[in-house]
């Protein structure tokens, strides 16, 4: 199913900087992290095209929850503490907004009070102020969204089948990838109304591996 949405898009960087997220969950970070994703990977032209949202329906494939398995942190605190100021400046150098305007845009996009997420093959645990809320999730398909600009995106949707009452009924992943691939970061939407989540295009909490620090995240953004 396709859906036409109105979306305010961040200007594309020459290097295709990726929307990122920040974390306040605490804990030690290490630049020497290893979670199965090559952070130095430079995208091919075909990958860049998909990343920008240009692909055919037939290219879209189902994905398992294991694509996002791991321990993840929000990048929102890194935006607030200035760690991403250089990223905002780079966007301003190639885009149509000032660095301050980009920061304001991402403050809305990244904003979240869920600072850490732990994903297993069948469960998702959300940490808010250090307190966990856990649910068991199964695939509920995917939706192709068409944006005002003409590019498109895919939401991979999972629905809760068991777990804490406070855990959201639906979660939707978006990571600029349209086939089974281990995620290096992702945007996540969650709530109890599947359709309403599909309409949300201004707030997209973004998560990177828990072991990454601010410098790691900036490097990963620059690689995209």
- Residue 71 resides in a domain: yes
d(CA 98, CA 124): 37
d(CA 86, CA 69): 29
d(CA 37, CA 209): 10
- Domain residues for the domain of 106 are 2-27+42-223
The domain total for the chain is 1
The pLDDT, as a whole number, for residue 222 is 80
- Residue 35 resides in a domain: no
- Residue 37 resides in a domain: no
- Residue 209 resides in a domain: yes
- Residue 202 resides in a domain: yes
CA atoms within 13 A on the CB side of 36: 9
Cα–Cα distance list, 224 to 52, 110, 140, 187 (Å): 11, 18, 29, 15
The pLDDT, as a whole number, for residue 43 is 78
d(CA 161, CA 170): 10
Partners of 118 in the beta sheet? Answer: 71, 125
- Residue 36 resides in a domain: no
> How does residue 224 score in pLDDT terms, banded at 50, 70 and 90?
low
Task: Report the 10 Å Cβ neighbour count for 146.
Answer: 15
Q: What is the CATH number of the domain that holds 173?
A: 2.40.128.20
- Residue 99 resides in a domain: yes
pTM: 0.81
């Amino acid at each position: 199913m396709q859906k036409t949405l109105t979306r305010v898009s961040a200007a594309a960087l020459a290097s295709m900087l990726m929307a990122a997220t920040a974390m306040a969950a605490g804990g030690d970070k290490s630049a020497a992290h290893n979670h199965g994703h090559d952070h130095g990977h430079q995208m091919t032209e075909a990958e860049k095209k998909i990343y920008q949202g240009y692909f055919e329906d037939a290219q879209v494939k189902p994905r398992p929850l294991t694509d996002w398995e791991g321990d993840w942190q929000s990048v929102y605190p890194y935006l607030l503490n200035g760690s991403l100021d250089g990223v905002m400046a780079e966007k301003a150098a190639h885009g149509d907004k000032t660095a301050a305007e980009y920061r304001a845009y991402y403050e809305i996009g990244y904003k979240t009070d869920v600072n850490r997420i732990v994903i297993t093959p069948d469960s998702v645990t959300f940490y808010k102020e250090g307190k966990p809320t856990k649910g068991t999730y199964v695939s509920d398909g995917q939706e192709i969204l068409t944006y005002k600009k003409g590019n498109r995106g895919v939401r991979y949707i999972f629905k809760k089948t068991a777990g804490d009452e406070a855990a959201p009924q639906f979660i939707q992943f978006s990571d600029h990838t349209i086939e089974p691939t281990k995620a290096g970061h992702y945007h996540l939407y969650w709530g109890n109304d599947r359709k309403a989540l599909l309409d949300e295009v201004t707030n997209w909490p973004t998560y990177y591996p828990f072991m990454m620090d601010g410098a790691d995240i900036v490097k990963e953004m620059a690689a995209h």
